[in-house]
């Protein structure tokens, strides 16, 4: 009796389907599933599941140690409250989880306390940044003052020439024309 091997065409997943598959895989890992069980459920090999997990974790941005520790502390707080509540009710079984939580909290407290140093180099970078901002603001103020002076000069000079040419109505027309030009340039 000869068995024939039938090849099954590979499924090609689009981006959305790949993201959903990754989410399912990580959800099952968090639930405690083994790679083999996940592979069977997803119709993949356990090697491929390991590859997907590895690739996803390598692409993930890693938090700095203090931020990660703060996140872990925030995650442990509800569990600590539950364990403390159970101890308050007299449940002896809660002692071990409570002590484990305290150990974890101590571990993350040490990591969270490590702050980035604020040394002379950091101070110099901050001072340089402040100087750049101040210089930019000063340049903007100077440009605005120059524009105002040019506008006042053009307005005053145009009105004077108009009065010399023929009276106050010509001066008003020149001022209105200048204002229209300024509005068109700023729009």
Q: Does a structural domain hold residue 176?
A: yes
Strands of 75-125, DSSP E: none
One domain, residues 48 and 21:
yes
Q: Does a structural domain hold residue 6?
A: no
- Predicted confidence (pLDDT) at residue 37 exceeds the cutoff of 60: yes
Q: Does a structural domain hold residue 2?
A: no
pLDDT in tens, 107-147: 877 776 655 667 788 888 888 988 999 999 999 999 999 99
One domain, residues 153 and 107:
no
One domain, residues 182 and 124:
yes
One domain, residues 161 and 181:
yes
Residues in the chain, overall count: 187
Q: Does a structural domain hold residue 80?
A: yes
Assigned token pair, 106: 């101590």
Q: Does a structural domain hold residue 4?
A: no
Q: In a 3-state reduction of DSSP, which class is residue 10? A: coil
Q: Does a structural domain hold residue 26?
A: yes
In the chain, how many domains are there?
A: 3
Q: What percent of the chain has pLDDT over 70?
A: 72
One domain, residues 48 and 77:
no
Query: Taking the model in full, what pTM does it have?
Result: 0.35
One domain, residues 88 and 138:
no
Q: Which of 79, 97, 113 is the last residue of a domain?
A: 113
CB 22 within 8 A of CB 11: no
Distances (CA, A) of 15 to 49, 53, 59: 17, 16, 15
One domain, residues 152 and 180:
yes
Q: Does a structural domain hold residue 94?
A: yes
Report d(CA 49, CA 60) in Å as an integer.
17
CB 40 within 8 A of CB 25: no
One domain, residues 148 and 166:
yes
One domain, residues 181 and 126:
yes
Q: Does a structural domain hold residue 179?
A: yes
Report d(CA 121, CA 27) in Å as an integer.
44
One domain, residues 32 and 74:
no
- Predicted confidence (pLDDT) at residue 96 exceeds the cutoff of 60: yes
pLDDT in tens, 14-30: 989 989 999 999 889 88
Q: What percent of the chain has pLDDT over 90?
A: 33
One domain, residues 71 and 43:
no
One domain, residues 53 and 108:
no
Answer with the residue of higher pLDDT: 146 or 61.
146
pLDDT in tens, 136-161: 999 999 999 999 999 998 887 655 55
Domain that holds residue 164: 120-186
């Amino acid at each position: 009796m000869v068995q024939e091997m039938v090849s099954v065409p590979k499924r090609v997943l689009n981006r959305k389907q790949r993201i959903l598959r990754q989410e399912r895989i990580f959800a099952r890992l968090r639930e405690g599933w083994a790679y083999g069980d996940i592979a069977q459920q997803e119709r993949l090999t356990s090697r491929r599941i390991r590859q997907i997990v590895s690739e996803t974790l390598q692409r993930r941005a890693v938090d700095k140690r203090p931020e990660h520790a703060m996140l872990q502390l925030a995650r442990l707080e509800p569990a600590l409250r539950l364990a403390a509540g159970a101890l308050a009710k007299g449940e002896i079984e809660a002692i071990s989880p409570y002590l484990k939580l305290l150990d974890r909290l101590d571990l993350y407290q040490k990591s969270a306390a490590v702050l980035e140093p604020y040394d002379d180099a950091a101070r110099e970078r901050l001072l340089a940044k402040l100087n750049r901002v101040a210089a930019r603001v000063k340049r903007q103020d100077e440009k605005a003052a120059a524009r105002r002076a040019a506008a006042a000069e053009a307005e005053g000079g145009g009105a004077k020439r108009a009065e010399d040419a023929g009276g106050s109505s010509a001066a008003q027309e020149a001022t209105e024309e200048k204002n229209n030009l300024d509005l068109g340039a700023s729009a």
